[in-house]
A and B are shown apart, each in its own frame.
Chain A
């Protein structure tokens, strides 16, 4: 039985499904939107760091908070979501296949998301939605801002249903086998995403849209924030898990090794599903209206989510070492020295992994019950998520792009572009070290996040912060050069590179890895436990918030320049 299982997997992985031209077009469309977002959002980021030096003013009456909103929405919500959905469709297509009907539904998802994005982006660009990407009530944006965001979320739900359907159809034809690892991972990520986005969907549909249109006079501010952060933390795992997919199941193949343990990879994803949602209060630790005991309970649950990351770290380095030793590098660290550093498909994600060490530690600090008070809403937090999402996740996505785009366009990753990719990664690492490092230090000194340039009445503290803001401008400028390089590489890989073949690298399982037990695909059980944990963490505090709610807030739009 066990042996048969192993053989069937070998069969699958050596005979993967071919991606047709029609499929490529679908997957690439999502990635094109992501690239355009990278360029536009990055440009806004550059303008921000320049404004914050105090030496530069925005032309044409453009507001700082307008570009800040654009930067946040377009990079944090649009770039990530589009790249992830495109990448996940490619993974599903490669491992379980996509039918004609599923492809049509996937296009529907693409257009709903794209129309939603355009509505939101235009609303921000004409200055009607300077509410930042968290759109905290009672700041009121133009209703189209919220409607656009709702469409993006609905689009991702369509994509999720297509993904689930893909796995379901495959399972019906291969009922005695475990689902392919990558398909399993995509399914988990989309279950987590849909359960989490229900929170923000309820807030937007039930609270924000009627209120911004004038059908409801007031809004319950604390409830809207709680619903937002119920979604807002799993959102960061929705970004991270696709990077983990590449680390677990793709990187080993690139370095010439095998997957350390299939069941371990699955277990870590199941743990992410359990513990990424019932933790939102750690973003609300300094709020007046939530009971501290419930805050502490969610802090404890937040710490649980560190465990699957520890597992991932072990698994990655185990793969690196085993692979190196198999190749004959037997010294204590020679396996490490002999990793394929010249291969950008490995190098870019590896630098991302390194950034996750300080990034993760920063996250533990942010989520700590009282310690959070010191850093809450300081620019330390901005430094933290520029390490995690803008380095760990993004460099992994870049690493994926180096083989995924040429594979889909039928082109070759040339040596020249390869070398440029290595430079790009180095530029990114340097720029981010300077910018994020300066943000972390300025945050510890009390410098606020989300604030335009200010001398705060010429205070000594503001003068001290000014030096770090200069450093951020230097780092941010280097990062923008990194973005220009990446955009050039993207365009080259998509349209210019010579025709050829690039592999879609999917790792096989290590021969002596433990057999994956069947119970790992007990979806009802996993979803059941997830819901139970959410109910445990949220039921009583939410009842409390609603029962003891103060009078609601009317909309405020004049103070954001509307």
Chain B
């Protein structure tokens, strides 16, 4: 089959651009290790407390080291459980210092939920039977809305909480 000369050039140019782009993506993924979250860690959705991270007292923000934090969250329709404060009230606002590295670990007890800190790179699907986790550095100061971005039922748009990154 014969290709037009200009068409050959057009395809060579286009395909090289695609390959270059894929090389950049591949470099990021396999050399820098920036894959989207995929740890394949399973959990029984009816017994999430079998995993220590999701026992009642371990939910929410925990400082593990200077500038290292873990946030454990249990999602369910239509709420993110971030544990309770000293007075026994549920937490719906967490504060993280700027530049801290934070490991988010999330599970669901019912249907699929989204876990997106809007305006940041934290964006995960949370599916029954799996632990979703992602480690990020919070470098932007401000108040961010953590919200559910996968439809989970009639109260889906009421499912949110806030994350504050302070100087």
**Chain A residues packing against B (C-beta within 8 Å):** 63, 65, 130, 132, 136, 138-139, 221-222, 225, 261, 263-264, 267, 284-292, 295-296, 299-300, 303, 306-307, 310-311, 314-315, 318, 364, 368-374, 376-378, 445-454, 456-457, 459-462, 514, 517, 544, 548-553, 556, 559-561
Contacts and interface: CB of A to CB of B under 8 A. Distances in A.
Interface of B: 1-4, 6-7, 10-11, 14-15, 18, 21-22, 25-26, 28-30, 34-46, 77-78, 110-112, 114, 116-121, 123-133, 143-145, 147-158, 160, 162
A550 B42 contact: yes
Given A288-B124, A290-B38, A446-B116, A267 B130 contact: no
Contact of B40 (A290, A311, A560): A290
B22 A303 contact: yes
A454 B158 contact: yes
B111 A556 contact: yes
Contact of A447 (B38, B118, B154): B118
A371 to B, nearest CB: 8
B106 to A, nearest CB: 9
Contact of A370 (B34, B145, B158): B34
Contact of B26 (A264, A290, A296, A550): A296
8 contacts: A136-B111, A284-B125, A287-B130, A288-B37, A288-B40, A370-B34, A454-B157, A559-B77
* Across the A-B interface, the 4 shortest Cβ-Cβ residue pairs: A550-B129, A446-B118, A559-B153, A448-B149
Contacts of B126: 288
A550 B151 contact: no
B129 A551 contact: yes
A454 B117 CA distance: 16
Contacts of B148: 448
A379 to B, nearest CB: 9
A448 B46 contact: no
A445 B119 contact: yes
A34 to B, nearest CB: 26
B77 A288 contact: no
Contacts of A267: 1
A295 B38 contact: yes
Contacts of A377: 114, 116, 123, 125, 149-150
B1 A517 contact: yes
Contacts of A448: 114, 116, 118, 147-149
A296 B46 CA distance: 32
Nearest to B114: A377
